Copies of this chain bind each other. A is one copy, B any other.
Amino acid sequence: MEHPECLQAGHAHGEKLVPVTFTVRSTKKQEVLDITQQVAEVVAASAVPEGIVVVSALHTTAVIIINENFDPNLNDDFLAALSLLIPAGKWKHDVVDGNGAAHLKSAVVGSSQTVIISQGKLLLGRWQNLMLVDFDGPRERTVAVQVVKS
- Residues on A facing B (Cβ under 8 Å): 16-19, 50-52, 54, 56-60, 65-68, 71, 73-74, 76-78, 80-82, 85-86, 91-93, 95-97, 100, 103-104, 106-118, 123-128, 142, 144, 146-150
Residues of B close to A142: CB separation below 8 A: 125
Contact present for A17 and B110 (CB under 8 Å): no
Residues of B close to A106: CB separation below 8 A: 66-67
Counted per complex, copies of this chain come to: 3
Min distance, Cβ A26 to any Cβ of chain B, angstroms:
15
CA distance A50 to B144 in the complex (A): 13
Closest to A76 in B: B92
CA distance A91 to B84 in the complex (A): 12
